[in-house]
């Protein structure tokens, strides 16, 4: 049986177009292979700082942009060549929740509109009554009281409520995969816990696989099972979330985790020797992407490092670990527990 | 030590068509030089209103009803418009939320910095002003060449640091930073906070850091003030706040934090913050509180001093005092 979703050596390069020439510009995602199984739903975190290619990955997965090379397969078919009924199924089964709960609502419509459009579009209900029941059910599933929400305008709702409505909208369609692109970064810290709880219950109760895209490793640690750390489009480290967060190996992951402001007085900032610095946007030289910021850089790093295994459930792309066994990037999914 | 900032009974009201909304209800604070205070609370709790009130920047329909903001020995609320213009940047400075988007895209960074100096000093020479600006840029770890650049040539974190550089140009005694890192990722956030920290140390200024990220507070501030519906709920040192919060709202805030030990446990605060126009009677937190008793629904608890100088506004503790 084909995998539910498969990234096969996907690369996305954004080109710089001049008047007469087209030059390759930024490689936003570099040779990523990934498999998502249908029978085991999971929550997978894709982490990285701004410009690491997290959102490009989401856009590719949703079919908004096409890969420069490689293929993205949904149930064994390339998502960019899907037609007719198959395309509708893909559109229904792969849903998204975006970062800004304030920007996705049309201020002129009731919340009902946002929820009823997908029902009509995918013909999920045969009568008005059934449509209403579906809306009630979805809103209840995300912990909202439907009678408080329906008939209201977006400006009458808080950010946390709106974000949960977005999750409810996605849930209406019974998706198999939910892409959550920074769903809690614009929500009050005290409401974050509620939204994360809703997401993890979706996985448990409805068997939805969630691709959780974030730069916030604290929430990633709490919600997900496995993690992929990206830096400028390349996988730096991947594996089981507990292992990666508690014992990060790659210098970049160590920097990321050391920079988390833990709400813990005994765990202070700045324990690694890597200075917190922003990514430089300069041209990359074909070597390790982290080369210019890495304190451990050697001559070897001028060629891109492969993934080295740390254990069965952790691998890092760094020559510091070159005595360990290698693993091909195509087998990345084997590192990720479900 | 003489406190550098004293806020006495500050009250701000917004007069809306639907009624009067008390955005800030009798807040008092003192801050010594070199102290770092964190101001936390949910959206709508009055954190930003407090910053604006201190800067004398409340616009109609809002009004400062009462209270004093004393920096050094000047009461800012009594100053005229012109005097206040001088006081900003010189005495008190404000780094607003998303400050990096407030840079003018068609002016060089340097020109924007020089603008600020010109507003305060009569006749410095061009070279002097440039020197001052570049020193300020250097103090936030930026290259002197940034002076000649345009905002689009800089990254988000660099722009944020430019805003800090502008803020500290005239060496103020009080710095208010309103969620200075909310749009930045963790690594850049750490870099910006480390910059603020260093700048504050060299200036010896007092800092008020506004935000809702308790993690950032734990790493950065000395004292934490928790606000809810425009009132102070608790004010204590960061250690007391994180190890032994007193007010039920502060307790809920602390226990909703994700940490490494309680994986998979999500403990949000039930319910929503009330609208300021329809505040519940008595203690505004009572509908969401686990320890509500009768008195909570009828009487507003006062901010009382407890052992060790911490302040808590809750009926749970008033009997003991």
**pLDDT value for B42:** 81
The mean pLDDT value for A28-48 works out to 88
Q: Is the pLDDT of residue A273 over 60?
A: no
Answer whether B273's CB lies under 8 Å from B260's CB: no
Answer whether A188's CB lies under 8 Å from B252's CB: no
Helix (H) / strand (E) containing A133: helix A128-141
Q: Is the pLDDT of residue B277 over 50?
A: yes
Handedness of CA A182, A186, A190, A191 (dihedral sign): negative
Q: Is the pLDDT of residue B37 over 90?
A: yes
The mean pLDDT value for A22-36 works out to 83
Answer whether B28's CB lies under 8 Å from B9's CB: yes
The mean pLDDT value for A208-223 works out to 89
Q: Is the pLDDT of residue A280 over 80?
A: no
**pLDDT value for A272:** 59
Interchain pair A265, B217: CB under 8 A:
no
Mean pLDDT (chain A, rounded): 85
**How many domains in chain B?**
1
Q: Which residue of B has its CA nearest to A263?
A: B215
Q: Is the pLDDT of residue A187 over 50?
A: yes
Strand order in the sheet with B62-71: B19-31, B5-16, B62-71, B74-75
Q: Is A271 helix (H, G, I), strand (E, B) or coil?
A: coil
Q: Which residue of B has its CA nearest to A253?
A: B187
**pLDDT value for A95:** 92
| Closest approach of B240 to chain A, Cα-based (Å) | 10
> Which region among A21-30, A69-78, A322-331, B264-273 has the lowest average model confidence (pLDDT)?
B264-273
Q: Name residue A71's beta-bridge partners.
A: A8
Q: How many CB pairs under 8 A join A and B?
A: 129
| Closest approach of B86 to chain A, Cα-based (Å) | 35
Interface test with A, best of B152, B243, B266, B272 (most A CBs within 10 A): B266
Using alpha carbons, list the distances in angstroms from residue B234 to A31, B6, B245, B253: 52, 17, 8, 12
**pLDDT value for B292:** 87
**pLDDT value for B199:** 87
Strand order in the sheet with A314-316: A94-97, A177-181, A209-214, A43-47, A226-231, A234-240, A314-316, A307-311, A326-327
Q: Is the pLDDT of residue A167 over 70?
A: yes
Interchain pair A261, B155: CB under 8 A:
no
Q: Is the pLDDT of residue A24 over 90?
A: no
**pLDDT value for A279:** 58
The mean pLDDT value for A269-275 works out to 63
- Give the strand pairing for A177-181 and A94-97: parallel
Handedness of CA A182, A184, A189, A195 (dihedral sign): negative
Show residues of chain B in contact with A223, CB under 8 Å.
264
**pLDDT value for A274:** 60
**pLDDT value for B100:** 72
Please state, in angstroms and rounded to a whole number, the distance separating the CA atoms of residues B214 and B206.
19
Interchain pair B260, A216: CB under 8 A:
no
At A225-236, the pLDDT tens digits run 999 999 888 999
The mean pLDDT value for A320-336 works out to 86
3-state secondary structure string across B171-184 = CCCEEEEECCCCCC
B15, two tokens: 């007069």
| Closest approach of A261 to chain B, Cα-based (Å) | 5
Answer whether B133's CB lies under 8 Å from B169's CB: yes
Q: What share of chain A is helix, strand, coil (3-state, %, to 5)?
A: 35, 25, 40
Question: Is the peptide bond between B276 and the residue preceding it cis, with omega within 30 degrees of 0?
Answer: no
Q: Is the pLDDT of residue A283 over 60?
A: no
| Closest approach of A79 to chain B, Cα-based (Å) | 31
Confidence of residue B266 (pLDDT cuts 50, 70, 90): confident
At A76-108, the pLDDT tens digits run 899 988 888 899 999 999 999 988 877 788 888
Answer whether B77's CB lies under 8 Å from B67's CB: yes
Q: Is the pLDDT of residue A26 over 90?
A: no
Using alpha carbons, list the distances in angstroms from residue A237 to A259, A278, B190, B315: 17, 19, 21, 51
Interchain pair A215, B185: CB under 8 A:
yes
**pLDDT value for A180:** 92
Confidence of residue B319 (pLDDT cuts 50, 70, 90): low
Q: Which residue of A has its CA nearest to B253?
A: A190
Give ipTM to 2 decimals. Answer: 0.75
Please state, in angstroms and rounded to a whole number, the distance separating the CA atoms of residues B319 and B311.
15
Q: Which residue has the higher pLDDT, B273 or B149?
A: B149
Confidence of residue A43 (pLDDT cuts 50, 70, 90): very high
Answer whether A336's CB lies under 8 Å from A235's CB: no
The mean pLDDT value for B258-264 works out to 70
Show residues of chain A in contact with B266, CB under 8 Å.
193-194, 196-197, 200, 222
Please state, in angstroms and rounded to a whole number, the distance separating the CA atoms of residues B55 and B89.
10
Answer whether B147's CB lies under 8 Å from B62's CB: no
Interchain pair B212, A261: CB under 8 A:
no
Give the A-side interface with B, CB within 8 Å: 49-50, 158-161, 188-194, 196-197, 200, 215-219, 221-223, 242, 245-246, 255-256, 259-265, 268-270, 276-278, 281
Answer whether A202's CB lies under 8 Å from A34's CB: no
Beta strands in B32-184 (DSSP E): 36-40, 62-71, 74-75, 92-95, 174-178
Show residues of chain A in contact with B216, CB under 8 Å.
261
The mean pLDDT value for A8-36 works out to 83
**pLDDT value for B77:** 86
At B208-225, the pLDDT tens digits run 999 888 888 888 899 999
Show residues of chain B in contact with A277, CB under 8 Å.
187, 191
Q: Which of A190-199, B108-117, B153-162 has the highest mean pLDDT?
A: B108-117
Of B31, B186, B97, the residue nearest A248 (C-alpha): B186
Please state, in angstroms and rounded to a whole number, the distance separating the CA atoms of residues A25 and A14.
6
At A300-310, the pLDDT tens digits run 888 888 899 98
Q: Name residue B228's beta-bridge partners.
A: B231
Confidence of residue A210 (pLDDT cuts 50, 70, 90): very high
**pLDDT value for B176:** 92
Q: Which residue of A has its CA nearest to B158?
A: A278
**pLDDT value for B321:** 45
Show residues of chain A in contact with B258, CB under 8 Å.
193, 218-219, 221-222, 263
Show residues of chain B in contact with A265, CB under 8 Å.
218, 238-239, 242-243
- Name the residue range of residue B118's domain: 5-318
Q: Is the pLDDT of residue B320 over 60?
A: no
> Which residue pairs, CB below 8 angstroms and at least 24 apart, start in A14-17?
none
Answer whether B122's CB lies under 8 Å from B190's CB: no
Q: What is the CATH number of the domain that holds B45?
A: 3.40.50.300
Percent of chain B with pLDDT over 70: 97
Q: Is the pLDDT of residue A282 over 60?
A: no
Mean pLDDT (chain B, rounded): 86
Percent of chain A with pLDDT over 90: 22
**pLDDT value for A217:** 86
Confidence of residue B174 (pLDDT cuts 50, 70, 90): very high
Please state, in angstroms and rounded to a whole number, the distance separating the CA atoms of residues B204 and A227.
42
Answer whether B226's CB lies under 8 Å from B239's CB: no
The mean pLDDT value for B21-38 works out to 90
Show residues of chain B in contact with A159, CB under 8 Å.
43
Q: Which residue has the higher pLDDT, A193 or A274?
A: A193
Q: Is the pLDDT of residue A281 over 60?
A: no
Answer whether A7's CB lies under 8 Å from A63's CB: no
Of A227, A134, A271, the residue nearest B190 (C-alpha): A271
Q: Which residue of B has its CA nearest to A258?
A: B187
Q: Is the pLDDT of residue B189 over 90?
A: no
């Amino acid at each position: 049986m084909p995998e539910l979703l498969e990234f096969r050596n996907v690369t996305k390069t954004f080109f710089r177009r001049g008047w007469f020439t087209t030059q390759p510009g930024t490689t936003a995602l570099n040779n990523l292979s990934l498999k998502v199984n249908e029978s085991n739903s999971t929550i997978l975190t894709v982490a990285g700082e701004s410009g690491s290619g997290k959102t490009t990955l989401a856009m590719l997965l949703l079919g908004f942009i096409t890969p420069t090379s490689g293929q993205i397969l949904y149930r064994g078919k390339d998502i960019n060549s899907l037609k007719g009924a198959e395309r509708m199924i893909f559109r229904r089964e792969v849903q998204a929740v975006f970062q800004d709960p304030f920007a996705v609502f049309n201020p002129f419509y009731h919340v009902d509109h946002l929820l009823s459009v997908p029902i009509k579009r995918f013909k999920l209900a045969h009568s008005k009554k059934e449509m209403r029941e579906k809306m009630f059910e979805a809103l209840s599933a995300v912990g909202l009281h439907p009678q408080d929400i329906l008939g209201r305008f977006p400006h009458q709702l808080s950010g946390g409520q709106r974000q949960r409505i977005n999750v409810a909208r996605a849930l209406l369609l019974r998706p198999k995969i939910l892409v959550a692109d920074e769903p809690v970064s614009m929500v009050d810290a005290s409401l974050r816990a509620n939204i994360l709880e809703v997401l993890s219950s979706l996985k448990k109760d409805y068997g939805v696989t969630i691709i959780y895209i974030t730069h916030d490793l604290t929430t990633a640690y709490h919600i997900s099972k496995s993690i992929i750390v990206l830096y400028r489009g390349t996988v730096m480290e991947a594996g089981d979330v507990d292992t990666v967060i508690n014992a990060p190996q790659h210098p970049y992951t160590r920097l990321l985790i050391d920079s988390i402001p833990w709400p813990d007085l005994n765990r202070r900032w700045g324990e690694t020797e890597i200075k917190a610095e922003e990514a430089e946007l300069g041209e990359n030289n074909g070597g390790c992407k982290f080369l210019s910021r890495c304190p451990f850089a050697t001559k070897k790093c001028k060629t891109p490092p492969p993934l080295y295994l740390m254990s069965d459930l952790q691998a890092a792309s760094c020559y510091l670990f070159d005595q360990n066994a290698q693993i091909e990037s195509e087998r990345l999914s084997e590192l990720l527990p479900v | 030590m003489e406190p550098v900032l004293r806020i006495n009974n500050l009250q701000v009201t917004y007069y809306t068509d639907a009624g009067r909304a008390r955005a800030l209800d009798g807040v008092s604070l003192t801050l010594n030089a070199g102290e770092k205070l964190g101001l936390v609370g949910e959206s709508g709790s009055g954190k930003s209103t407090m910053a604006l009130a201190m800067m004398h920047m409340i616009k109609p329909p809002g009004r400062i009803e009462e209270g004093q903001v004393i920096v050094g020995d000047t009461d800012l609320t009594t100053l005229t418009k012109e005097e206040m213009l001088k006081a900003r940047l010189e005495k008190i400075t404000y780094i607003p939320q998303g400050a990096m988007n407030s840079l003018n895209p068609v002016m060089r960074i340097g020109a924007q910095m020089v603008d600020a100096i010109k507003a305060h000093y009569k006749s410095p020479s061009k070279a002097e002003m440039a020197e001052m600006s570049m020193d300020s840029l250097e103090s936030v770890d930026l290259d002197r060449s940034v002076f000649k650049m345009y905002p689009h040539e800089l990254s988000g974190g660099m722009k944020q640091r430019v805003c800090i550089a502008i803020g500290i140009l005239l060496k103020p005694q009080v710095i208010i930073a309103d969620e200075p890192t909310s749009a930045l990722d963790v690594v850049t956030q750490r870099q910006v906070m480390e910059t603020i920290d260093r700048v504050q140390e060299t200036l010896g200024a007092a800092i008020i850091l506004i935000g809702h990220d308790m993690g950032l507070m734990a790493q950065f501030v000395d004292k934490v003030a928790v606000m809810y519906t425009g009132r102070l709920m608790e004010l204590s040192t960061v250690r007391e706040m994180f190890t032994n919060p007193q007010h039920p709202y502060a307790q809920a805030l602390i226990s909703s934090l994700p940490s490494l030990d309680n994986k998979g446990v999500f403990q949000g605060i039930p319910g929503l913050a009330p609208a300021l126009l329809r505040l519940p009677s008595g203690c505004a937190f009572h509908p969401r509180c686990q320890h509500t008793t009768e008195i909570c629904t009828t009487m507003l608890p006062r901010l009382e001093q407890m052992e060790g100088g911490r302040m808590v506004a809750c009926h749970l503790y008033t009997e003991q005092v």
